[in-house]
Amino acid sequence: MSDRSDDDRPAEAAPAPPAPADDAARPPADDAARPPADPTAAPPARSGRTVLQVVVMAILGLAVPLAGVVVAARSCNQTQSAGRVEVTGSPAGDWQARLGACRSALDRGERAVELGRRDDGGPLVRIAVDPLDGPVVTLWNPSGDRTFELRGGDCPALRVELRSSGDGDGERLGGSAQGTCPLAAGGTVTLGVWWRGC
């Protein structure tokens, strides 16, 4: 039995700290601890599919406004008219017709519009505004062998509006005419029509 007490024993050496782990074995650092990206670095290359999508979107972005411009231009230049004329009790009999075609006409310095088509290809109605006499409406029966004329001075109910836009060969006429008037030869005519771009 030894006479040495526990206090006289030499102290045991503390265990050595573990060796630092290799960098490759360390877990990834938090995003906040990562260094900022290099602003001069080239962006990652886009795939062929991504480039194709960008090209398609660019084409559509240009095509849609262009289509709108084309539609608007065609609408502005399109000739339109609608309405009807009805004659009752005239010496040439009764008739009615839809006035769905129009063209501008210039006669003796008057601006005029011709509407509808007779059997012989001529107009059914010609509407003009005389600088002195006011509105003048000339009617033909469908066969074209009888002509009737209405003047604003003889029919206060006749309302005619004739507008002009453009000039020269590009002049276009728009407007409207309506009213019920007696015919000098007997009978009554009822007119209601509008036109644009004629």
| CB-based contacts of 160, cutoff 8 Å, min separation 6 | 127, 129, 134, 135, 137, 152, 175, 176, 177
pTM, rounded to two decimals = 0.58
Q: How confident is the model at residue 39 (pLDDT cuts 50, 70, 90)?
A: low
Question: pLDDT tens digit string along 167-197?
Answer: 666 678 899 999 999 998 899 999 999 999 8
For position 44, what pLDDT does the model report? 55
For position 111, what pLDDT does the model report? 81
- Asked if residue 69 has pLDDT above 70, the reply is no
- Asked if residue 1 has pLDDT above 50, the reply is no
Question: pLDDT tens digit string along 142-175?
Answer: 888 888 999 988 899 999 998 887 666 667 889 9
Q: Average pLDDT, whole number, for the chain?
A: 75
- What average pLDDT does this structure show over 61-69? 51
- What average pLDDT does this structure show over 97-108? 80
Instruction: Name which residue leads in pLDDT, 156 or 34.
Output: 156
- Asked if residue 3 has pLDDT above 70, the reply is no
For position 87, what pLDDT does the model report? 94
Give me the long-range contacts of 134-138 (CB less than 8 A, separation at least 24).
134/160, 135/159, 135/160, 135/162, 135/177, 136/110, 137/177, 137/191
Least confident of 10-14, 107-111, 148-152, 162-166: 10-14
